[in-house]
Amino acid sequence: MPNARRPMEFGGHHPELLQVIRDEIRDTGPLPFSRFQELCLYHPRYGYYTRGRGIGREGADFWTAPEMNPVFGELVAVQLAEMSSLLGSPGDFQVVELGAGTGSLALAALDAWQREASPLYRERVYGIVEPSSGLRLVQKEMLAVHGDRVCWLEDSPSKAPPGVLLMNEVLDALPVDRVVGRAEGLEEIRVGWRDGDLVEVPFPAGENLVEELRLRLGGGAGGLEPGQEVELRPRLPDFLAAEATRIAAGYILAIDYGDMAADLYRRPRGTAMAYHRHQACEDLLARAGHQDITAHVDFTALSAAAASAGFQEAGMTSQMKFLLALGLAGRIEALESENIPEKDRVIRRLGMTALIKPGGMGEMFKVWIGARGAPAQLRGLRDPFAAF
């Protein structure tokens, strides 16, 4: 699967990162796509996320829901507060957000608790796990107003507190392996170097990927159709098991785009996509280190990984239903009585409704919640249309 020569707009590949990738290909052969993606996004010095690139600011490559409108974070804060209450309002309750981006979600939640004089607004209630030194600086500047209510976490604590492990658009950026069905069996898509550029290289799929696909397809004898491509995240269970040690009893709250396995693996081609300056790009090997690389989340795999870590699925819903169940409709209506310029009212209303747009973010993004030693009946999982 050779790639056409790529234009060098936007600076092409990150030169130092490209050299790292070339050296590793020279030493080990074509790289699994997950390794290539890991280097592009998370290399300690040159990775896209490590350098704090791309999220919700001038020159950004994509926006997340918290950057679109603070009401998203305010309503997530409503759900977090209910979770604390269901756990008995423990004094050491802690929200642990993985990969907090610019800090917009944390800011909206803490602002809301401060306005409401919530008992949650106290020292170290909001912990952030952020591997990117660049983004950590952005977060600390944005959240400085909340002082010691927010903290940055490194290793898991020796005694984990009760709380919530919060992930907003984190799982989609976990590295994936790419496989494609062939008449003669499963084939892996790796990354090599040829004729002065990165290229896709067909490679016999290892038994680990064959078994992972079998698990994702439900253990049946059927496989992929010839030419059908999918992404797999074999490392998801280990990732979730490690991060789940940061809380004792409590919840996992994951918000991301994706589907259950039955729907996800019905597609004729994969979901992996790159993003650069708000433009989607199907050339995953272009601009290494200068573009985001993501793939849809398999929520069936997430549920299985969470179960292995001791969390049972409490439920899954769309972002639209989640936000409406937590009171978004009332907040949209309240805009009409606010003493603000009409232009500002329209802009804020559009920002709120974009979060629940059918066929857009409202349905593409899902909310998955798992519970460990905690009640599973949650407001955000109720059907807001049940009374109609």
Class of domain 9-380: alpha beta
What lies within 8 Å, CB to CB, of 1 at 6+ separation is 189, 199, 200, 201, 202
Closest to 31 in 3D by CA, of 386, 284, 259: 284
pLDDT range class, residue 55, cuts 50, 70, 90: low
Residue ranges per domain, the chain? 9-380
pLDDT at 352: 93
Query: For the chain, what percent of residues have pLDDT higher than 90?
Result: 79
Q: How far is CA 215 from the centre of its chain?
A: 22
Q: Which whole number is the average pLDDT over 85-103?
A: 97
Cα separation, 203 vs 177, whole angstroms: 12
Residues 6+ apart with CB under 8 A from 221: none
d(CA 173, CA 297): 9
pLDDT given for residue 292 in this prediction:
94
Write b or e for each residue in 336-348: b if 16 or more Cβ atoms lie within 10 A of its Cβ, otherwise e: eeeeeeeeeeeeb
pLDDT digits (tens, 9 = 90+) for 291-323: 999 999 999 999 999 999 999 999 999 999 999
Residue pointed to by tokens 């997950």: 34
Burial of residue 7, with CB atoms counted within 10 A of its CB: 0-12 exposed, 13-18 middle, 19 or more buried: exposed
pLDDT, average across residues 71-86 = 98
C-alpha closest to that of 266 among 203, 181, 367, 368: 181
| pTM given for the model | 0.92
